[in-house]
Amino acid sequence: MSFTEQQIERYSRHILLADVGVEGQEKILNAKVLIVGVGGLGSPSALYLAAAGVGTIGIIDGDVVDLTNLQRQIIHYTPDLNKPKVLSAKEKINQLNPDVKVITYHDLITQHNIREIIREYDFIIDGTDNFPAKFLINDACVLEGKPFSHGGILRFEGQTMTYVPGQACYRCIFDNPPPPNAVPTCSQAGVLGSVAGMLGTIQATEALKFVIGKGNLLTNRILIFNALNMEFRTVKINKNPHCSICSEQQKNKELISYQMPVCDLKHKTNGK
């Protein structure tokens, strides 16, 4: 593709990078990334991917903007209260970068719609805030052969890993969701707003690295950090040959839809 003078200026800091350059920026402009949940993690991910020039960004979220969201969900502003999050996010992305095509899904992901939706994208970012959604995203991406970035935050802590086909998946570490109410949610235990930004930008970086084919992704390892002490560590993980979703014998398995805990149903269910 040929770049306009404005695009050359806009993406000049990428083009100057030896590992990106014109070829890498072209890959970014042709990329399609889906963000599931435009909350604490999805907000910074969406903004940085849009700024980078990702050609198509899909955003799926069934919620509307709530006042409690504004402490960390930086893509939404006070005038957006009660507006669908996907609409609020699309407006900001369009203002930030007109090069980006935004596809919105004002809906929750389910076992009935997720596989059809993710088929259209090159990379998936999990910005959800509940275990049923996280396992559903993992399982759908494994079955559809789609790479994705997992992310989770609580209080001052965050964790993230990247899945690509053939490598360890989320279920290789956590075979099933924890029992209801065994792990508190952000709405119960709280979260430092900037922690969401820290993790969301890491997820966006993983997506961009995958698109340009450079660097080492967070595959077969999980990154864990504690912002209160500002300590980061990575834990090596191995692909489970008996994994209930990614092992060879499970390749034709159907998706499982876990029941949402009652405490989560009282709050918003998409986006941290």
* pLDDT digit string, tens, across residues 37-61: 999 999 999 999 999 999 999 999 9
E-strand stretches of the chain: 32-36, 56-60, 101-105, 123-126, 148-154, 157-163, 221-226, 231-236
Percentage of the chain lying above the pLDDT 90 cut: 84
**pLDDT value of position 188:** 78
At which residue do the structure tokens 């969301």 appear?
200
Instruction: Look up the pTM and report it.
Output: 0.93
Nearest to 46 by CA among 148, 197, 212: 197
> How far apart, in Å, do the first and last CA atoms of the chain sit?
37
CA–CA–CA angle 69, 70, 72 (5° rounding): 80
How confident is residue 176, by pLDDT bands cut at 50, 70 and 90?
confident
Q: Is 102 helix (H, G, I), strand (E, B) or coil?
A: strand
* Tens-digit pLDDT profile for residues 210-262: 999 999 999 999 999 999 999 999 999 999 999 999 998 766 578 887 766 54
Q: Where are the domains of the chain?
A: 31-265
The total number of residues written for the chain in this structure: 272
pLDDT value at 187 more than 90: no
φ, ψ for residue 111, nearest 5 deg: -65, -15
Q: Say which CATH architecture domain 31-265 belongs to.
A: 3-Layer(aba) Sandwich (3.40)
